[in-house]
Chains A and B, each alone.
Chain A
Amino acid sequence: MTMALEIAELSASYGQFRALNGVSISVSQGETVALVGANGAGKSTFLRILCGLMDSWEGQIAVGGTQLARGDPLKSSHLGLALVPEGRMLFGSLTVRENLLIGQTDRDGPWDIDAIERLFPVIKERRNAKPSELSGGQQQMVAIGRALAANPRILLFDEISLGLSPVVVREVYNALSSIRNEGVTLVIVDQDISRVCNVADSVTCFFKGTVTFHGPAKGVTADDLHEAYFGGRS
């Protein structure tokens, strides 16, 4: 069986600072992975590398069996990776609908504009608005919609609930179950560890650029994660 993601001995640095150090993870197709860890643990760097937004890294990354190009976001997109970035990063000069349209690719899949609008009805209501006219929660839904429009094989979420109200977080997490039902592999970074572990199949914990825990989410205890979160176990 081809893995969705196979990462071996991944290391990356920002100048003198070692952000990732020998990370090795495998993720199956359709699996949902919770990526947890303290600020500066390397989670965002990990996602940036997968998306081709960073080129100074070493190691091996295979996406669906194909080696990932270094620092080439367009090729990452062609491999079926899509990102819901921290801070949403919507195109400010495009309307909500245009943000979705630009996300569309030739890849076949269930996520056309109608399906996305059914998932998040507010997108249809605000389709002609500019992102700056939306609330943070609405912006997050558009960011997810834009990523879904590409019919990705692997969908990456960076700080999925950051800055959102509890009601919106619940709505976003409800949408995740619909997305994973379509067979999309999800990698979710969230500071709300208990919530993200509830929806995940597996949990990976980063500490200072290394993986300190990687295992099934079912059965993982608070003590396991607490220890891994502060670097106590590998």
Chain B
Amino acid sequence: MIGAGLALNYGILKVLQLAHGEYITYGAFAAVGAIVLFPDLPFPIVLLAAFLACALLGAVAQWLIVERAMSYRDEVVAMLVTFGMAVVLRDSLVEVVGADLRGLSVGRLGQANFTVGGLTLGVLPLLSLGIAVASFGLLAFLTFKTHLGRQIRAVSDLPDIAALVGVPVKRIHVIVAALSAGLAAIAGVLLAMRASVSPFSGLDNLLIAFEVVVLGGLGSIRGVLWAGLLLGMTQVVSTWLDSNAGLFYVHLVFFIVLVFRAKTGRLS
């Protein structure tokens, strides 16, 4: 989930969105804020609220800032602008909510599990997996089965020709940026359900998002799904074997795959 929005953003807009990690953090804090304000709010509504809040943020940022940066031929300009956005978003969040760690209380759900054939499965990780798979499914439906999806793919292929056949390219950019930020928000909510999140978590999340996207292939949503599963499984197994490992084995697997690709000439 962490990498999906980043891959979507790069795949269509060809912009490395360095504020993606902050969108993840904002998603988590939007959910925390919603729960604080309305403690009885059902979880699906919290998830939807976080999605919509970050989607709006992503859309406005694209419309007012990134779109203008994209008009420069040099891709570095847009990337640097998103880096600046990341700094502003992070510091704004610190200013508003402070630097404390926050998390979403899931009550007994955090410990709930069941056993199938001798294998104990946690309900929360399965719920996260289900939400991630449903999000990917909806994204795939939108991309491959709707007129908007056709327009998105056309813009990704040939933006100038897409505009010439009547596709509103800038509007598509804004929609994609909103979707990308919304997906990041869902990832943020799922993260906040399992671990504490601070306003400074964006960079860590961006790093993992980059690993997922680089492994899966820049712009490939399907590749991102497989890469996310590989790194996710690595984290689960390594935590089971060595509870102090943190993300060490995740980074190690990423490094090994990169070395393998470099040796076999498939780095890009």
Contacts and interface: CB of A to CB of B under 8 A. Distances in A.
A52 interface: yes
A51 B166 CA distance: 11
A102 B157 contact: no
Interface stretch (A81-89, A114-122, A166-174, A204-212): A81-89
A91 interface: yes
Nearest to B152: A93
A153 interface: no
A105 interface: yes
A55 B24 CA distance: 38
Interface in A162-206: none
B162 to A, nearest CB: 7
A94 B147 CA distance: 11
Interface in A85-124: 85, 89, 91-94, 98, 101-103, 105
B160 interface: yes
B151 interface: yes
Contacts, number: 62
28 contacts: A52-B163, A53-B160, A73-B163, A74-B167, A76-B164, A77-B164, A78-B166, A82-B164, A82-B165, A85-B161, A89-B161, A91-B154, A91-B158, A91-B161, A91-B162, A93-B156, A93-B157, A94-B150, A94-B153, A94-B154, A102-B151, A102-B154, A102-B165, A103-B166, A146-B165, A147-B165, A150-B165, A150-B166
10 pairs of A and B residues whose beta carbons are closest in the complex = A73-B163, A73-B164, A91-B157, A93-B153, A77-B166, A74-B163, A91-B154, A103-B165, A105-B166, A89-B161
B168 interface: yes
Interface of A: 51-53, 72-74, 76-78, 81-83, 85, 89, 91-94, 98, 101-103, 105, 146-147, 149-150
A51 B147 CA distance: 23
B169 interface: yes
Contacts of B154: 91, 93-94, 102
Given A74-B164, A102-B150, 20 more contacts: A51-B164, A73-B161, A73-B164, A77-B164, A82-B164, A83-B164, A85-B161, A89-B158, A91-B154, A91-B158, A92-B157, A93-B153, A93-B157, A94-B153, A101-B150, A102-B154, A102-B162, A102-B167, A146-B165, A147-B165
A103 B158 CA distance: 13
A105 B163 CA distance: 12
A40 B243 CA distance: 67
B156 to A, nearest CB: 7
Contacts of B153: 91, 93-94
Nearest to A76: B164
Given A98-B150, A101-B150, A102-B151, A52 B164 contact: yes
Nearest to A77: B166
Contacts of A85: 161
A73 B160 contact: yes
Contacts of A102: 150-151, 154, 162, 165, 167
A127 B189 CA distance: 42
Q: Which of A72, A85, A102 has the most CB of B within 10 A?
A: A102
B68 to A, nearest CB: 15
B223 to A, nearest CB: 14
Interface string B118-154: 0000000000000000000000000000010011011
A77 B166 CA distance: 6
A103 B166 CA distance: 7
Contacts of A92: 157
A25 B268 CA distance: 48
A102 B160 CA distance: 14
Interface string B193-208: 0000000000000000
Interface string B81-111: 0000000000000000000000000000000
B143 to A, nearest CB: 9
